[in-house]
Amino acid sequence: MENTINTSPAQTEKKKKILSCIQPSGIPTLGNYLGALKNWKLLSDEFDSAFAVADLHAITVRQDPQKLRKQIMEVLALLLAIGLDPDKSIIFIQSHVPAHSQLAWILNCYTQFGEMSRMTQFKDKSQSHADNVNVGLFAYPVLMAADILLYQADLVPVGADQKQHLEIARDIANRFNSIYGNTFTVPDPYIGKNGARVMSLQDPTKKMSKSDPNPKGFVSVFDAPETIMKKIKSAVTDSEGGVYYGEGKDGINNLMGIYSCCTGLSMDEIARDFEGKGYGDFKAAVGEAVVEELRPVRERYEQLIKDQAYLKQVAAKGAENASRIANRTLNKAMKKCGFVLP
The catalytic residues are: 125, 207, 210
Closest approach, Cβ 251 to ligand LTN, in A, equals 24
Burial class (CB in 10 A: 0-12, 13-18, 19+), 45: exposed
Helix (H, G, I), strand (E, B) or coil at 22: strand
Please pick, from the candidates 17, 20, 252, 333, the single residue that binds ligand LTN as defined by CB under 6 A.
20
Q: Is 235 in the site for ligand ATP (CB under 6 A)?
A: no
**CA–CA separation, 211 and 214 (whole Å):** 9
Comparing CB distances to ligand LTN, the nearer of 256 and 326 is 326
Comparing CB distances to ligand LTN, the nearer of 167 and 307 is 167
Between residue 27 and residue 66, which ones bind ligand ATP under the rule CB under 6 A? Answer: 31-32, 35-36
Q: Which residues pair with 17 in a beta bridge?
A: 48
Residue whose CB is nearest to ligand LTN in the complex, by number: 21
Nearest Cα neighbor of 73 from 97, 99, 91 is 91
**CA–CA separation, 190 and 196 (whole Å):** 10
**H helix or E strand, kind and range, residue 21:** strand 17-22
Strands (E), 139-259: 155-157, 188-190
Please pick, from the candidates 158, 286, 291, 325, the single residue that binds ligand ATP as defined by CB under 6 A.
158
What is the per-residue binding string for ligand LTN in 51-90, x denoting contact by CB under 6 A?
---x--x---------------------------------
On whether the CB atoms of residues 274 and 281 are closer than 8 A, the answer is yes
Query: How far from chain centre, in Å, is Cα 71?
Result: 14
Please pick, from the candidates 88, 96, 175, 197, the single residue that binds ligand ATP as defined by CB under 6 A.
197
**H helix or E strand, kind and range, residue 53:** strand 48-53
- Single out the segment in contact with ligand ATP by CB under 6 A; choices: 78-86, 182-190, 208-216, 323-331: 208-216
Sign of dihedral through CA atoms 8, 10, 11, 15? positive
- The residue type of 207 is K
Between residue 118 and residue 177, which ones bind ligand LTN under the rule CB under 6 A? Answer: 144, 147-148, 156, 158, 162, 165
Nearest Cα neighbor of 197 from 224, 160, 231 is 160
- Single out the segment in contact with ligand LTN by CB under 6 A; choices: 17-25, 61-69, 271-279, 316-324: 17-25
Please pick, from the candidates 18, 21, 252, 322, the single residue that binds ligand LTN as defined by CB under 6 A.
21
Q: Is 198 in the site for ligand ATP (CB under 6 A)?
A: yes
Q: Where on the chain is the footprint of ligand LTN (CB under 6 A)?
A: 19-21, 23, 54, 57, 144, 147-148, 156, 158, 162, 165
